[in-house]
Structure 1
Amino acid sequence: MKILAIRLKNLTSIEGTVEVDFTAEPLHSAGIFAISGPTGAGKSTLLDALCLALYDKAPRFATSVESVNLSDVGDNQINQSDVRNLLRRGTSDGYAEVDFLGIDGRRYRSRWSVRRTRNKISGSLQPQTMEVKELDTEKEFQGTKKELLIQLVELVGLTYEQFTRTVLLAQNDFATFLKSKGAAKAELLEKLTGTGVYSRISQEVYARNKAAQEEVTLIQNRMNVIELMPEEELLALQKEKELLAEKRVAGIKLLAEQNEQLNVVRSLKMQEDLWKKKQQEEQEEQARLKMLQGALASQEEGLVHFKAQWEAIQPDLKKARQLDVQILSQQDSYTQSQQMLQSANKQVSEQEQKMRMATEQLQGAYSSLNRLLNHVGIEEALQLEQVEEILRQEENKLTAGMNTNEERLLQLNSFGYPLLAEEQMKLQKELTRQQNIRQLTEMQTKTKAEIERLEKETTDCLKQLTEQETALKVTQRLYENARMAVGKDVKALRRQLQEGEACPVCGSTAHPYHQEQEVVDTLFRSIEQEYNAAVANCQQINNRSIVLQRDWTHQKMVDGQIGEQLAALYKAGINAGNEEQIQHRLTELAERILAYRNLYAEWQRSDEEIKKMRSHCEALRENVSLCRLAMQKVSSAKEQLVLLQNTASAEQKRFEVIEKALNVLRQERSQLLKGKSANEAEAVVAKREKELNLALEKARKEVEAVHNRLSSLQGEMKQITLAIGECQEQYKKIEFPEQLPEIIKKQQEENLNTERTFSTMEARLLQQEKNKLTVEQIAKELAEKQTIAERWAKLNKLIGSADGAKFKVIAQSYTLNLLLLHANKHLSYLSKRYKLQQVPDTLALQVIDCDMCDEIRTVYSLSGGESFLISLALALGLSSLSSNNLKVESLFIDEGFGSLDAESLRTAMEALEQLQMQGRKIGVISHVQEMSERISVQVQVHKKVNGKSVLTVAG
């Protein structure tokens, strides 16, 4: 897996679009590079962008566990752990994009992007999106964001946790790991290796054991709460229940007999009251029968009188029928005459409307004609002939104008304008080509001169660099020898030398350095300054050589491009003379084209005037036709109107005669039968006769119904008398009938008390059975839970703990051994002097010093640089442990180099320079000036005003 390029836009302090391309120079050739810049400039933003594009996560949010909402734009809020917080405030959109080489050897591009609504700064944040595609085939991966992230893990070969332990080495974690206590080391190892499951297992075992013990205690408490009756109390209760059951049966039987006697008493009283009620109803019915018989006689007399009156009005009825026939006949003539009159009046109105419409059309035609001629007063047919004369004159003018414009069109065609325009375009292109050739030739001359200058300076610089490197090697040998001479171990040996005794190293008995130690130290500092100056000078010349070679290559590329452009321009030329000849011909063409355009404009103006004249003539001709047609309609409408008015007058007179005769007949008829028709009068008489007959029949039926009810009442009274006799016989047998309700009430209370006592005893017996069954079930459950609790108690004794530390320490001991195997392998490349070893039966670490006969040393005795080397080896060991033998060619280290002194920093840099020889491209994030000066290739992040930062690649 290898990172090829990182691009980002508007993230944190970096505004706008930036790109770090590891496939382009100088990063392509650099094995190690620095990401430098002041604190807060945005160095770690590059790593955030890398993780966003691949995993939709960022390292800076790894510790954000508290859920707190922060204010965004407007009233919107966003959680503080949301990765969209990386979008720079005051921008509407941003993205992070990474090109990488997958585990299958193919190149891919992953892009994470976020934007605000409608791409406005004031818009609310939208959900982030992911895009993944293969660069070689341009194939885009499909799916949801979650599905794309799963595919990315397969392409990269690492999960997010493995990626942050393999490609991004966390700051200071392993320096802390070296010297932390056992429990803290277990927690830190658990965090770095992702083996937190052991801690959770220990906590889960502890929780399960606690829960099992609580369940056993709870079941025991449930069993203690349940009470069972003694056997003697149970037998006595069952016997008492049997006695109560017999008493309950006897009480129910006695209460039934008492209720039967009470029913006899109540029935006797009810029958006596009913007999009295029936007797009263008999008296009422007899009085009603007498009244209805009188009403029946009155109805019969009224019917006889009505029939006599009907016979008296028969002559008037006959005469009324005759008049009704005459009126009906006259009414038909009246209606017919009225309809004809209305039709005639309607036709007159319609003809008047047509007359008005024809007149309005004529006036409208005259108005249109006046507007076309720009004057008023044309209202007669005689003047229409004058208009037709004007129309003939206008048409003659139109014909003359059309002939003139045809001549102009022939002149336009004779110019051959398309050929002129084509020739002009070709000449202009040729003129531009010759001008470009002249400019490119001048540029080529300057470029060749610059190439010669750069080539000479590059040769001089390379020669100077060779000389400086030769001198540097000599100075370096002196420096290394001097450094060994002033080393701590050498100084300690010198202090042990005695004058006259042989040196165990060289065998000399003279020890001049023993007496002149201060002179030696001063000499070493002088040599060290000379060596550092030589290194800086050599690095400066090397940097200049790289810049000169880059500029020389660039100028050669520019010269090649100019040559290609000149060849293309020469090839595209035409034979049209030099620039002066072409310019002269272009002037002639411009004059001829201008003459064509002036004539064309004159033809266009004339054509517009001809169109207007033609439209005017057509409108005049059409309006004259409309005026003549409208005059004919008005004349025809007048004649038709006179005929319809005469017809309407004759119909009016006929209608008045018929109306007068009809009024006379109606007057005579209104005096008979009170104005009612014969049929209506007969209907009223028939209705009245029917009502009288119905009333008579109703009265007869009511009299008959009263007779029937009297007979029914008398029969019911006989039956009630017999029932009363039977009840009186039963009543005589009852003792104390007046006290029966009180006796029944007392018996009911006694029965109720017996029932309550019986129910209570029965409930106690049922509860006893239920409790007995429950105790048996609880006992069985308790035995099962106790077995489970004993198992968890044994497991908890071995690995369980409330904080998870017991099993965590045991498990991480094995993980630590595996980690140290990988770490020592990397440490052998970094520093052959030391090996890491685990203190037996603990998570503590100790160091084996190979230069001191494998002496075991505590990690607290290491210097800053040595601690860094071992911490880096641990980090690389974890990288190997997490990557599952996956080849990772990119490594970013953020280890806090600012805490190292000059000597430790030099040692760390030498270690990193050796590490890049293993084939990895290493990026070191630091703001330390010494590191930035030592690493020539740098990705520099510069702070600007208003919290902005810009990014440049130097080297």
Structure 2
Amino acid sequence: MKIIAIRLKNLTSIEGSVEIDFTVEPLCSAGIFAISGATGAGKSTLLDALCLALYDKAPRFATSVESINLADVGDNQINQSDVRNLLRRGTSDGYAEVDFQGVDGHRYRSRWSVRRTRNKASGSLQPQVLEVKDLDTEKEFQGTKKELLAQLVDLVGLTYEQFTRTVLLAQNDFATFLKSRGAAKAELLEKLTGTGVYSRISQEIFARNKAVQEEVAMIHNKMSVIELLPEDEFLSLQKEKELLTEKRAAGIKLLAELNAQLNVVRSLKIQETLWMKKQQEEQGELVNQKNLQTALVVQEEGLLHFRAQWEAIQPDLKKARQLDVQIQSQQAGYMQSQQILQAARQQVADQEKKLISAMGQLQISYHSLNHLLNRTDVEALQPEQIELILNEEKERLETWTKANEERLIQLNSFSYPSLVDEQSKIQKELVRLQNMKQLTEGQLKAKQEIEKLEKEVVVCTRQLAEQDSVVKALHRLYESARMAVGKDVKALRQQLQEGEACPVCGSTMHPYHREQEIVDTLYRRMEQEYNTALSAYQQINNRNITLQRDLTHQKATEAQIKEQLSALQQEEDSVGNEEQIRSRLNELAERILAYRNLYAEWQQSDEKIKKLRAHCDALRENVAQCRLAAQKVAAVKEQLTILQKAVAGEQQRFDVIAKALDTLRQERSLLLKGKSADEAEVAVARKEKELNDALETARKQVEGVKNRLSGLQGEMKQLAVTIEELREQQKNIEYPDLLPQTIAKQQEDNLNTERALSTVEARLLQQTKNKTIVDQITKELTEKQEVAGRWAKLNKLIGSADGTKFKVIAQSYTLNLLLLHANKHLSYLSKRYKLQQVPDTLALQVIDCDMCDEIRTVYSLSGGESFLISLALALGLSSLSSNNLKVESLFIDEGFGSLDADSLRTAMEALEQLQMQGRKIGVISHVQEMSERISVQVQVHKKINGKSVLTVVG
């Protein structure tokens, strides 16, 4: 991994755009360069920009843990840990951009940018945007910010924490590390190396051991809650159950007989009441029959009277029909005359419109001809003069046509279709070669993804099986706990009395009688554990389904790519390689371009010819139109005079017919009140129908009453037979009035027997369940005790509540490895000292080679010596973190102020050794002597108003 260039704009004290390009001089050839400037000038801003562009994070915000909002522009606020705080106040936008060489050898550009709304300094801050591009292929990466950051980690080869340990080094942490206590040293080493997993493992083992021990205790508690009946009491309950079952059957049989007798008594009363009701309905129907027969006679008399009235008006009806016929005949002539008159008037109006139109068309034709000839006196020209103008235009048209035909002959000589066909064929072959290249790359990526998914599926399947076992075990415990807090059990427990036997277990001691809350707490805890395990199982199962679906999709994609690649390989043509194809395409493009230029000239000339031909045609057409328009105007005027005379004659005939029709209408209005004969007949027929319908309705009502009377009488006969039978049955019943009380007493006896039997059955059932539960709990206890024993041993070895035990053990090995790399770098910085781990601790000691390998404490070192050792540790951590990755860029931040001239020279020589290993090293320092020893510098100068500028010198 190598940094190529850093660019930034409007970040903290740096205003405007700034660029540091390591590919141009003097930085290109400089192995070591200094980033110098006064405190607060903005040296560290360059490192912030580097981290922003690659990780959307900045080192200066690493220790900000409090969530406090600060005032921004206007009423807006921003959290103090938000990286957008780096945008310089008073500016509308800013960015951080880094060009780097990735682990795959490609050059990439990552750009982090932020802006305010409407690009105004007073606008609200918008979310930051991340853009990533492959500079070698010009490919832009797509996806959300989270997806792009994940891709950047793959391209750089380092996470943010690894990057700050490998590329950005700060000695402050290691100066603290040298002299801290064991636990604190473990925490610092954990922070520096990113090995915090050991603390979490120790804490998890402690938590798992605690949980399984609690599970064992809970199972013991469950076992103590369950009590079993003695064998003699169990046999006694079974005998009592048999006696109660026989008694219940006898009581049910007797109760059924009593209910049958009570039904006979009640049915007799109901039937007698119904017979009396039917008798009352019969009397009512007899009265209704008499009234309906009277109404029927009235309807018959009304119909006879209406028919007599209808015979009296027959003469007037006949005369009215005769007048209607005469009016209808006269009205037909009136309508015909009126239509003829309107048609004649319309013809006159149409002819007047035609005249206006013809005159307007004549004027338009003259106007068009004036426009075509560019004259204003066409009406005064002679036909011979206009014909002469037309002949001149025709000669010019023939000249242009001949020249364009010669161009067409040249165009045909190009054989343009064959050129296009060949170009299309070659382009298809070029596309085929490019597609084969892309498909080959896609096939490789698909295979890699399939291998990755298959591994994940195996892991997920194993996790799913393990979680399924946990869920099943918790489900058994949960069901047992749920049964213990059931409604029936709670009610039974509340009825217990001290000294009295429990109906379930027979015990006279009731330890949970007044401790219901303990049982409920155990149940709720078990329910929570079961739901948590079930949720975890569902999550793992959902992930397993997703992985299976993704694996199937990737395999289908690989097969599809393979088919496409095979199809493309079968289409292989002998056109040549890609370079030959591109050369032939260039030749064809030149030929096609020459053809198209000549074709454009021909097309332009053809357009001119078409316009000239259209001009000539328009002249001929307009002359003809002028002649036709003049003839049409004369003909329309003559026809209009004829039509106006016809309108006057039709008007006289219409007036005579209208007067005769008015006389007939007055005579007809005196008959039948002005109504037509058909209307009068329809009204009479409607009235006669209404009278007939009313008469028929009255007859039906009379018939209906007769039918209902017949039915009632039949029902009464049947009821009399039924009542007689029930009376005979009632004679056999003793004390019929006391039946309800007898039945109630028998029901109570049956209920008491049922309750006693239920109590006995409940105790027997509980005994069976308790035996089953005891067996299950015994088996589960054995299994849990085995698991708890294993976790207890592991907890004794490395488990602890704060994770310290395993953390110290693991960090001891990490410290050994770190010291190997640090001593290698320390041999260049100071040959006098070596670092060594104090046995069985995380403490450090120093071996003084100048004093016969005497062991010294780190507290005896001077400030400069402590810095050199801290620098060696920092460089060692960088080597440790980049063990499997080549890191060619390194930035060291501060710490050189405590060195004397000799130590500073030694440090510089050590850094030059790193430079010889192929690394480009940037030293950030405000120490004057340090800056003077390094010729190539990136200088940051403070200006007024908190502004800084950047220059590169060397």
User: With structure 2 as the length reference, what TM-score do the two structures score?
Assistant: 0.65
Alignment of 1:11-26 (within 5 A): 11-26=11-26
TM-superposition CA deviations, 1:667-711 (whole Å, max 9, x none): 444444444444444444444555555544444444444444433
Q: CA deviation at 1:345?
A: 4.8
Aligned partners of 1:186, 1:76: CA distance in 2, in Å? 42
Alignment of 1:366-377 (within 5 A): none
Which residue is 2:924 aligned to? 925
Aligned partners of 1:322, 1:887: CA distance in 2, in Å? 124
TM-superposition CA deviations, 1:835-863 (whole Å, max 9, x none): 22211111111111122122111111111
- 2:763 is equivalent to residue 768 of structure 1: no
Which residue is 1:330 aligned to? 330
What amino acid does structure 2 have at the position aligned with 1:38?
A
What amino acid does structure 2 have at the position aligned with 1:127?
Q
Q: CA deviation at 1:880?
A: 2.2
Q: Residue 302 and residue 74 in structure 1: after superposition, are their counterparts in 2 closer, same or farther (change >3 A)?
A: same
Alignment of 1:250-399 (within 5 A): 250-347=250-347
What amino acid does structure 2 have at the position aligned with 1:250?
A
Which residue is 1:604 aligned to? none
Q: Residue 947 and residue 290 in structure 1: after superposition, are their counterparts in 2 closer, same or farther (change >3 A)?
A: same
Aligned partners of 1:282, 1:793: CA distance in 2, in Å? 98
Aligned partners of 2:308, 2:97: CA distance in 1, in Å? 122
Which residue is 2:470 aligned to? none
- 2:804 is equivalent to residue 805 of structure 1: yes
RMSD of aligned residue pairs (Cα, Å): 4.1
What amino acid does structure 2 have at the position aligned with 1:115?
V
Which residue is 1:948 aligned to? 947
Q: Residue 277 and residue 905 in structure 1: after superposition, are their counterparts in 2 closer, same or farther (change >3 A)?
A: same
| Larger deviation, residues 41-50 vs 230-239 | 230-239
Q: Residue 51 and residue 257 in structure 1: after superposition, are their counterparts in 2 closer, same or farther (change >3 A)?
A: same
What amino acid does structure 2 have at the position aligned with 1:728?
R
Q: CA deviation at 1:943?
A: 1.0
Aligned partners of 1:147, 1:671: CA distance in 2, in Å? 101
Aligned partners of 2:210, 2:348: CA distance in 1, in Å? 115
Aligned partners of 1:293, 1:25: CA distance in 2, in Å? 131
Alignment of 1:643-662 (within 5 A): 647-662=646-661
Aligned partners of 1:671, 1:139: CA distance in 2, in Å? 105
Which residue is 1:114 aligned to? 113
TM-superposition CA deviations, 1:465-507 (whole Å, max 9, x none): xxxxxxxxxxxxxxxxxxxxxxxxxxxxxxxxxxxxxxxxxxx
SS of 2:761's equivalent in the other structure is helix
Q: CA deviation at 1:800?
A: 0.7
Aligned partners of 1:43, 1:74: CA distance in 2, in Å? 30
Which residue is 1:511 aligned to? none
Q: Residue 147 and residue 714 in structure 1: after superposition, are their counterparts in 2 closer, same or farther (change >3 A)?
A: closer
What amino acid does structure 2 have at the position aligned with 1:843?
L
Which residue is 2:44 aligned to? 44
Aligned partners of 1:698, 1:26: CA distance in 2, in Å? 122
Q: CA deviation at 1:736?
A: 3.0
Aligned partners of 1:361, 1:310: CA distance in 2, in Å? 71
Which residue is 2:132 aligned to? 131
Contact 2:819 2:873 in 1 (8 A): yes
Aligned partners of 2:100, 2:694: CA distance in 1, in Å? 115
Aligned partners of 1:301, 1:923: CA distance in 2, in Å? 130
SS of 2:847's equivalent in the other structure is strand
TM-superposition CA deviations, 1:771-813 (whole Å, max 9, x none): 3322322222222122111111110100111111111111111
Aligned partners of 2:358, 2:155: CA distance in 1, in Å? 92
In structure 2, list runs of 5 or more residues that go unmatched.
368-375, 382-621
Q: CA deviation at 1:164?
A: 2.5
Aligned partners of 1:629, 1:93: CA distance in 2, in Å? 75
What amino acid does structure 2 have at the position aligned with 1:34?
A
Which residue is 1:823 aligned to? 822
Which residue is 2:183 aligned to? 183
Aligned partners of 1:292, 1:103: CA distance in 2, in Å? 112
Contact 1:830 1:914 in 2 (8 A): no
SS of 2:91's equivalent in the other structure is coil
- 2:947 is equivalent to residue 939 of structure 1: no
TM-superposition CA deviations, 1:689-746 (whole Å, max 9, x none): 5555554444444444444443333333332222222222223333333333344344
Which residue is 2:880 aligned to? 881
Contact 2:112 2:128 in 1 (8 A): no
Which residue is 2:735 aligned to? 736
Q: Residue 715 and residue 113 in structure 1: after superposition, are their counterparts in 2 closer, same or farther (change >3 A)?
A: closer
Aligned partners of 1:55, 1:690: CA distance in 2, in Å? 99
Alignment of 1:435-584 (within 5 A): none
Which residue is 1:530 aligned to? none
What amino acid does structure 1 have at the position aligned with 2:796?
K
- 2:855 is equivalent to residue 850 of structure 1: no
Contact 1:56 1:112 in 2 (8 A): no
Contact 2:171 2:871 in 1 (8 A): no
Contact 1:320 1:672 in 2 (8 A): yes
| Larger deviation, residues 346-355 vs 770-779 | 346-355
Which residue is 2:716 aligned to? 717
Aligned partners of 1:17, 1:704: CA distance in 2, in Å? 112
SS of 2:855's equivalent in the other structure is strand
| Larger deviation, residues 183-192 vs 703-712 | 703-712
Q: Residue 725 and residue 158 in structure 1: after superposition, are their counterparts in 2 closer, same or farther (change >3 A)?
A: closer
Aligned partners of 1:685, 1:23: CA distance in 2, in Å? 117
| Larger deviation, residues 748-757 vs 868-877 | 748-757
SS of 1:115's equivalent in the other structure is strand
Which residue is 2:591 aligned to? none
Aligned partners of 2:719, 2:682: CA distance in 1, in Å? 54
Q: Residue 648 and residue 229 in structure 1: after superposition, are their counterparts in 2 closer, same or farther (change >3 A)?
A: farther
User: With structure 1 as the length reference, what TM-score do the two structures score?
Assistant: 0.65
Q: Residue 853 and residue 258 in structure 1: after superposition, are their counterparts in 2 closer, same or farther (change >3 A)?
A: same
What amino acid does structure 2 have at the position aligned with 1:762?
E
SS of 2:800's equivalent in the other structure is coil
Aligned partners of 1:323, 1:920: CA distance in 2, in Å? 127
TM-superposition CA deviations, 1:334-356 (whole Å, max 9, x none): 3223333444455566667788x
SS of 1:734's equivalent in the other structure is coil
Q: Residue 728 and residue 887 in structure 1: after superposition, are their counterparts in 2 closer, same or farther (change >3 A)?
A: closer
Which residue is 1:860 aligned to? 859
Aligned partners of 2:913, 2:298: CA distance in 1, in Å? 145
Q: CA deviation at 1:867?
A: 1.6
Aligned partners of 2:155, 2:691: CA distance in 1, in Å? 112
Q: CA deviation at 1:279?
A: 2.6
Larger Rg over CA atoms: 1
What amino acid does structure 1 have at the position aligned with 2:891?
F
Q: Residue 308 and residue 108 in structure 1: after superposition, are their counterparts in 2 closer, same or farther (change >3 A)?
A: closer
What amino acid does structure 2 have at the position aligned with 1:324?
D
Aligned partners of 2:378, 2:727: CA distance in 1, in Å? 139
Which residue is 2:409 aligned to? none
Q: Residue 681 and residue 239 in structure 1: after superposition, are their counterparts in 2 closer, same or farther (change >3 A)?
A: same
- 2:836 is equivalent to residue 837 of structure 1: yes
Which residue is 2:217 aligned to? 217
TM-superposition CA deviations, 1:430-459 (whole Å, max 9, x none): xxxxxxxxxxxxxxxxxxxxxxxxxxxxxx
What amino acid does structure 2 have at the position aligned with 1:62?
A
Which residue is 2:386 aligned to? none
Aligned partners of 2:5, 2:300: CA distance in 1, in Å? 127
Aligned partners of 1:158, 1:720: CA distance in 2, in Å? 103
Q: Residue 128 and residue 70 in structure 1: after superposition, are their counterparts in 2 closer, same or farther (change >3 A)?
A: farther
Which residue is 1:410 aligned to? none
Which residue is 2:555 aligned to? none
TM-superposition CA deviations, 1:151-170 (whole Å, max 9, x none): 65566554443333333222
Which residue is 1:786 aligned to? 785
Q: CA deviation at 1:944?
A: 1.1
Q: CA deviation at 1:26?
A: 4.2
Contact 1:97 1:109 in 2 (8 A): no
SS of 1:744's equivalent in the other structure is helix
Alignment of 1:385-424 (within 5 A): none
What amino acid does structure 1 have at the position aligned with 2:835?
L
Q: CA deviation at 1:11?
A: 2.3
What amino acid does structure 1 have at the position aligned with 2:325?
V
TM-superposition CA deviations, 1:179-224 (whole Å, max 9, x none): 1111111111122222222222111111111111122222223333
Q: How many residues align?
A: 704
Aligned partners of 2:810, 2:948: CA distance in 1, in Å? 46
Which residue is 2:201 aligned to? 201
Q: Residue 257 and residue 866 in structure 1: after superposition, are their counterparts in 2 closer, same or farther (change >3 A)?
A: same
TM-superposition CA deviations, 1:644-663 (whole Å, max 9, x none): 56544544443343333334
